[in-house]
Every structure is written in structure tokens, then in C-alpha cells.
Amino acid sequence: MRLLRVPAFPLSVFLALWFGLLPMPIWAAGFKPWWLALVMIYWSLESPRYGGLGRLFLIGLLADLLFGTLLGEQALRLCILGFLILRFRARLRFFPMWQQSLAVFGLLMNDRMVVLMVRGLSGEGLPPWEFWISPWVGMALWPWLFLLLDSARLRSRGKA
Amino acid sequence: MLLFYLSFAIVLMVTDHRTDALGRLRQSAGLLLQPMYSLASLPASLAGEIAAGWHSRDQLQIERDAAQRELLVARAQLDRLQAVQRENQHLRELLGGTRGLQMGVQLANVVDVDLDPFRHRIVIDVGEQDGVRDGLALIDAHGVVGQVLSVSPTRSTVLLISDPSHGVPVQVVRTGLRVVAFGTGETDRLRLPNIPQSADIRVGDALVTSGLGGRFPAGLPVATVMSLRPDDTRLFVIAEATPSATLDRSGQLLLLWATEPTLEMGPPIELGDPTLRAQPDVDVASEDTGGDAAAREARR
């Protein structure tokens, strides 16, 4: 499996950004999870070497440039996520999967609040109710994403 | 450490929001990030091509017939418009009018990329190199779509009229009443607040751009009034309207530019010229050199 020797971290970040840009039909727009956050939550949980605050900040800036959000918005959101995870890392890591999913849901909900605050302060109105769907999707996706990333990480480490 | 990053992020956001200092950075970064956009729009365009390949013959036939009928109707309308336009030009020459509108159009493709479902922004495939500037208006076949928000060398971001932070000055066709249509965050609804109780506006009224503010040329269709209700103070009326343009994030748009900023902008009459329709990238208007000459005369 020489093809899979690509390091898992950059590949996963790249894919997360790419998935984030993929267009969805209008009615499904609210269902798109924040892929980048899910991937970064995984890395902060599993190896803080990859998911440190500095790295989160830089990746957030990159995402801001890519998505045309206010420069620093996603960086701020990722840093808040990262801080919470690093703070409770010891506990979160040993949660059973369903509890971990709930925790991810909590994190994503918290993030939505941050978004609401940032956009409210920058003068954008209240978003429609679909705005709140995305954390639920994130929660439902978390176990699968976790298993996928875990196997990818172990494989790339095992071969290295 | 967290505090450092947080404050840094907040400083960045405020600078970005309040000033244009980071525009250059954004532009150059935009250039680097462009392959990403192309990559992201790849699956959608592939799917589109596959779907096109699967179209059955019958379906194509039906579509072709429909298109042909539409073309016929449009041709007939254009002929009439041309007559009106000639008359208009003639009248303006008589007036020695300075209202000569120079307008160009350029075809722009929407890049199939989803920036954020709750911010009404799209990316188009023309940029600074094609002469795009901030604030240019975009229309589709049915009406106003939005305006250019930021430009990078080969791509630009467009703010749709449905964005909550967007307002477009409009005019009721029937009565000439001037109002402002704000986005609501939903692609099928605009809001027109602060209409006086006594104003003459009805459900079904068509709204066109009024040309005030100078961003949008006057006379472009914007929306149709769907409902009216009093606001909380009961002193004013709020109207809700459905945009005429299809504001989904795909297809082709027309970029409009007034080649010179005129104080008073007339309706985009020259759009109706069928000989110019065929070529997408021309100066449509170059209207009335006579009028311009007259204006120069007048200034002297």
C-alpha cells in the first residue's frame, strides 16, 4: 500500500477543506457539517502535537482565506474548540464513543454560539433555523470519522 | 496562550471588518488558493456532464422546442424594444440629453463552490485581469443577482441581494415609489421596511432598481411584492418580495458595467439589441455619441 504513505494529517486537513467547499443543493445547505472542526477535534484529541493552538490558529486563517469569512473568524473558533479539548483531553479520550459524540455535539453547539456572536457583532442578522442543524450532523458523523481517521493514522504510523 | 491567540484573532477580525488593510493579503492568497476552488467545483461539473450525457433524445427534443418558443417570444419583444430604443434615443438627442448611458456586459460563470450556506456569497470565474472592480452589478436573465464584493486576479466574490447585509434601492414600477429592498438571509425573500402607510404599493407590484446610490443602473427588475403588513409601530408598512432572479449558486450571470460613472443613469435599454446579444463580450451601449457631443457643447 505505497499509495497510503501520504502523512495522514495534511491529507485529512486538505480533504476537510475540500469537503467544506463542495456545493450542496440549497435545501440541504444546512446539513453540511463543519468538516474542518471535526478533523481538528480528532487531531487535538489524539495527538496534541498536531492539534496545538498555534497550528489550529494557522489552519483557521487558511480556512478564512479560502471561505472568504472575516479574517480570523475560523481561527478564533478553532482556537476555542482546541482550548476546550486540550483542557478536558484526559477525560474525553476515555469516553465511550457515544459520550464522545455528545461531547463533540456540545463543542459544535458552543461553536455555533461563537459564530452567532461574531456575525452579530459584525452586523449580520440572525441566521435562519437551519443554522442549528449542522452540529447534529457533526455528532452523527463523529464515530465514523473517528474510526476512519484512527485507521488512517495508525496505518501511516505503522508504515513509517 | 489561549488569550494571546484569541486577542490576535479578534484584532484581525476587527481590522478586516473596519478597514481595507488586509485586502492585498486576501488577493494574493486568493491567487494561491485558486486551484482549491477549481478542485472543489470539479465533482459538480463532472456530475453535470454525466447528467447531460444521459439526457434522452425525447427530453432534449422537448427542451429544444421550449427554448425555440422562448426565443421567438424574446425576438418579438426585442424588435419592439428596438423601436422604443430608437425613439428614446431620438428624444434624447432632441433634448440634448446628458443621460447617455454607457454600459457593457460580460458573461461570468458561477464557480460551483459553497462558501457558507448562511452567507449569501458566490464565486465567479472573472477577476481583476478581466477588469472586474468592486461594486459592479450582476444580473441574470430575470433580474438583479448581486454585486461584486471582492476581487482577486482571476476570481471574484459576489454578494447576493438576499444577504442580510445587502440593500438595493428600488422603485415600484406602477407608481414610482422609492424604497430599499434588504436581503433576509433566505434566497426567496426580500424585505422592504419603512414604507409610509399612505404609500401606494400593492401585492403583485414589480420592483426595479431606481439607480439611486449609483451602484445598480436604473430599471433592472429586482423583485415582485408578495405580501404587506404593518410593522410593530403601526406607522409604517413592511413589504416582502420575491426576487426575480434565480439566486441559486450556479449557472451563468451577466456582469454589468457603466463604463463611465454618470450622475444620472438611464434604464439599460441597449441590452435589448439582438445583434449584440450574440457576442457576450462587447460594449453594449456606446449610446448616442450625438448626445455626448451635445453635452460637451453645453459644457462649453
Say how many domains are in chain A. Answer: 1
Angle between helices A73-87 and B2-18 (to 10 degrees): 160
Q: What is the CATH number of domain B167-243?
A: 2.40.10.350
Using one digit for the tens of pLDDT, what is the confidence trace for A142-158?
999 999 988 888 877 76
pLDDT value at residue B225 = 93
> Highest mean pLDDT: which of A63-72, B182-191, B210-219, B281-290?
B182-191
A51-105 pLDDT tens trace: 778 888 889 988 888 887 788 888 999 999 988 988 888 888 888 889 999 999 9
**Nearest neighbour of A128 by CB, restricted to B5, B25, B185:** B185
Residue A34: how many other CB atoms lie within 10 Å? 26
pLDDT tier at B241 (50, 70, 90 boundaries)? very high
Reported as half-sphere exposure (CB side, CA atoms, 13 A), residue B97 has a value of 18
The answer to whether the CB atoms of B44 and A23 lie below 8 A apart is yes
Q: Is B40 on the interface with A (CB under 8 A)?
A: yes
Task: Say which of A21, A75, A128 has its CB closest to residue B40.
Answer: A21
Residue A105 belongs to domain spanning: 2-159
pLDDT for residue B268: 52
The DSSP secondary-structure symbol of A26 reads G
Per-residue model confidence as pLDDT tens digits over B136-177: 888 888 889 999 988 877 788 888 998 888 899 999 988 888
More confident residue, A129 or B204: B204
The verdict on a CB contact (< 8 Å) between B115 and A67 is yes
Where do the structural domains in chain B lie, given as residue ranges? 67-161+247-299, 167-243
β-strand partners of B227:
B240
Under 8 Å CB-to-CB from B170, ≥6 apart: which residues? B178, B179, B180, B181, B192, B207, B208, B209, B210, B222, B223
Cβ atoms of B144 and B209 within 8 Å: the answer is yes
Complex ipTM: 0.72
Is 70 exceeded by the pLDDT of residue B300?
no
Lowest mean pLDDT, pick from A62-76, B103-117, B214-228, B265-279: B265-279
Considering only A37-46, B25-34, B197-206, B261-270, which range has the smallest mean pLDDT? B261-270
State whether residue B36 sits within 8 Å of chain A by CB: yes
Contacts with A, B 188-247, CB within 8 Å: none
Amino acid sitting at position B72: L
Question: Once rounded to an integer, what is the mean pLDDT over residues B68-88?
Answer: 86
Q: Does A143 contact chain B (CB < 8 Å)?
A: no
How many Å apart are CA A89 and CA A86, to the nearest integer? 5
In this predicted model, which residue has the larger pLDDT, B87 or A51?
Answer: B87
Chain A residue closest to B34 (CA)? A66
Q: Do domains B67-161+247-299 and B167-243 have the same CATH topology?
A: yes
A85-122 burial string, b = 16+ CB within 10 Å, else e? Answer: bbeeeeebeeeeeeebbebbbebbeebbeebeebbeeb
Superfamily (CATH H level) for B67-161+247-299? Rod shape-determining protein MreC, domain 1 (2.40.10.340)
